[in-house]
């Protein structure tokens, strides 16, 4: 890691954990699991704090529902201790794609390749 990356890591949080978070995790953290994305989940000894160390870009929607529930104390057991039962109709977890090329663009959206023909609308023009 170069000098610029080390300095950036002291002052930024959006591209990985800061030194303070890394130090806190090293001193107080107890690793409780890892999700399919490679995110690591920790808690302290008395379970008064729970946190995640993201793999790659820090994006909250990368956290799967079962881990989100554990982080926010919806349930006490981690998904590794007690896996969440999924319904047959549930879709696999997907991060929020808003702002990316893969974001949902309904028919008629300005982002779609061929905007819908709007015969039901006539633009107003002042006369």
What are the beta bridge partners of residue 42? Answer: 31, 51
Considering the domain boundaries, does residue 86 fall inside one? Answer: no
Decide if 127 is inside a domain. no
Residue 89 near residue 46 (C-beta atoms within 8 A): no
Which residue range is the domain that position 27 belongs to?
3-71
Residue 95 inside a domain? The answer is no
pLDDT tens track, the chain, 127 positions? 677 766 766 666 556 677 778 888 889 999 999 998 899 999 999 999 999 998 888 888 889 889 999 999 999 999 989 988 889 998 888 888 888 888 888 877 777 666 666 677 777 888 7
Spatial contact of 30 and 45, defined as CB atoms under 8 Å apart: yes
Domain membership flag for residue 125: no
Tell whether 10 is covered by a domain.
Answer: yes
Assess if residue 44 is contained within a domain. yes
Domain count for the chain: 1
* Predicted TM-score (pTM) of this structure: 0.69
Whether residue 14 lies inside any domain: the answer is yes
């Amino acid at each position: 890691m170069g000098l610029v990356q080390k300095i950036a890591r002291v002052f930024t949080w959006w591209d990985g954990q800061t030194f303070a978070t890394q130090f806190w995790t090293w001193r107080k953290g107890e690793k409780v699991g890892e999700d399919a994305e490679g995110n690591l989940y920790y808690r302290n000894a008395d379970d008064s704090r729970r946190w995640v160390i993201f793999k790659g870009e820090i994006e909250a929607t990368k956290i799967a529902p079962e881990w989100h529930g554990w982080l926010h104390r919806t349930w006490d057991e981690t998904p590794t201790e007690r896996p969440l039962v999924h319904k047959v109709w549930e879709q696999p977890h997907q991060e929020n794609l808003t702002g990316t090329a893969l974001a949902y663009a309904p028919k008629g959206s300005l982002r779609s390749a061929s905007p819908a023909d709007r015969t039901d609308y006539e633009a107003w023009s002042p006369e």
